[in-house]
Amino acid sequence: MPTLTPAPATPSALDVLASGTVVPAHPLALDAGRRLDERRQRALTRYYLAAGAGGLAVGVHTTQFEIREPSVGLLRPVLESAADIVRAHETERGPGHPPVVKVAGACGYTAQAVAEAELAASLGYDAVLLSPAVPGADEAGLLDRTRAVGEVLPVIGFYLQDAVGGRHLSPAYWRALADIPSVVAIKTAPFDRYRTAEVIAAVAAADRADEVALYTGNDDAIIQDLLTPYRTASGLRWFAGGLLGQWAVWTRAAVRLFEEVRAARAGDHALTVDLLRRAPQLSEANAAVFDVRYDFRGCIAGVHEVLRGQGLLAGTWCLNPEERLSPGQAEEIARVAAAHPWLTDDDFVREHLDDWLR
C-alpha cells in the first residue's frame, strides 16, 4: 500500500506576517462632502489584493485618526468594509492559499486601545498596530498598555516619527516590548537611521528576538531597511517586510520590488547592487508623496493624489480640511512618476479599475 504524504499545512495569518510580506496602509475614500465613499473604499481594498499585497493595515495614520471622532464615526465601517472584501477574496480563491493578514490600528489610552482591539477581533482581524502617540504616558505605561491589548489580539509595536505624533523611545523600551509574549512584530518608522539602529539592536538582544518580526515603516528608506541583515543569538535575520503608507500607492510595483528584494537576499549580487542604485529614486518619490518639503503637511493628501490620478479616488479630500496638497506637490508627484516609471503601476490599475469599482 503506498504511503500517503500529508498535504502541507496552509500557513496562518501570523505565519505570513512572520515570514514577511507587503502590507499597505489603507487610505480613506471620501466624497466632496467629506463623507465615506463606500464604492471607492471597497475598490481600494480590491486593488491592494489584486496587486498581490499579503496584508492590509486599516484604521492607521493613512486611514486618518479622525475616523474615531464621535462626530465622524467611521472606525467600524472602514474596518468592516476591508474585512468583508478580504473575506470575499479568500472565498473566491478557495482553500490552499495563504490568508491575507488583517491589521487594525489602535490608538489612545489603555481603555480606548483595548476597546478598539476588541472591535477588530470581533471583525476577524489578526493583529493590532498599536500607536505610541499617548500624551503623558511614560514607557512603563506604554508597556502595560501593550500587555492589556495583547490579551485581545497579537500586537505589532510601532516606532512613529516625531512629525506625525511620535517621540523618542529608549532601547530598553524596545527590548522590553519585544519580550512581551503577545508582541509578534515591530513596525520601525522613526524616519531616523540612528533610532532605527537602536530598535534593531534592542530586538536582536531580546530573549524573543527570533519570535518578533521587524517591519520597515521608514517610507524614506524602504530598500535600505529590507536589504539590511541583523544578527540574533540564533543567526542572521532580515526585516521581514514593510507596513507602509508609501505602499498604499503603486502597490503592484511594490510587490514586484519585494520579490526582487527576496531574490537579492538569496544571493543575487547584481540585483542587490541594482536595488541599491534605485533606492534613492524610491526615497525621492516618497519625498514628493509625503510632502517632505513642507514637513509632511500633505502626506495623506499626497497618497490621495496618486490614487486620484489613477481613478481609484475621486479627489484628495481629507476629514480635516487643513490636510491638503501643498503648493507644487501634485507637480512634484507627477515629475517623479515620469522620471522613475518602474515605481508606478498605472497600466495595471487602468486594466482592472472598472472591475474594482463594480
The percentage of residues in the chain with a pLDDT greater than 70, rounded to a whole number, is 98
- Tell me whether residue 190 is exposed, middle or buried, using C-beta atoms within 10 angstroms of its C-beta: 0 to 12, 13 to 18, 19 or more: buried
Q: Which residues contact 9 (CB under 8 A, 6 or more apart)?
A: none
Provide the pLDDT for residue 96.
Answer: 87
Provide the pLDDT for residue 163.
Answer: 81
pLDDT digits (tens, 9 = 90+) for 42-89: 999 999 999 999 999 999 999 999 999 999 999 999 999 999 999 999
Report helix, strand or coil for 357. Answer: coil
Confidence at 9, pLDDT banded by 50, 70, 90: confident
119: nearest Cα among 133, 131, 107: 107
Q: Distance (Å, rounded) from C-alpha 67 to C-alpha 63?
A: 8
> Hey, where are the domains in the chain?
13-356
pLDDT digits (tens, 9 = 90+) for 129-146: 999 989 999 999 999 999
Confidence at 165, pLDDT banded by 50, 70, 90: confident
Q: In this structure, which CATH number among 3.20.20.70, 3.40.1280.10, 1.20.120.530, 3.80.10.10 belongs to the domain 13-356?
A: 3.20.20.70
Provide the pLDDT for residue 356.
Answer: 98
Residue 200 scores a pLDDT above 80: yes
Residue 206 scores a pLDDT above 60: yes
Residue 310 scores a pLDDT above 70: yes
Q: Distance (Å, rounded) from C-alpha 155 to C-alpha 177?
A: 10
DSSP for 328-353? THHHHHHHHHHH-GGG--HHHHHHHH
pLDDT digits (tens, 9 = 90+) for 169-190: 999 999 999 999 999 999 999 9
Angle at 286 (CA atoms; ends 280, 290), nearest 5 degrees:
150
Confidence at 337, pLDDT banded by 50, 70, 90: very high
Provide the pLDDT for residue 284.
Answer: 98
pLDDT digits (tens, 9 = 90+) for 253-270: 999 999 999 999 999 999
Q: Which residues contact 342 (CB under 8 A, 6 or more apart)?
A: 253, 278, 281
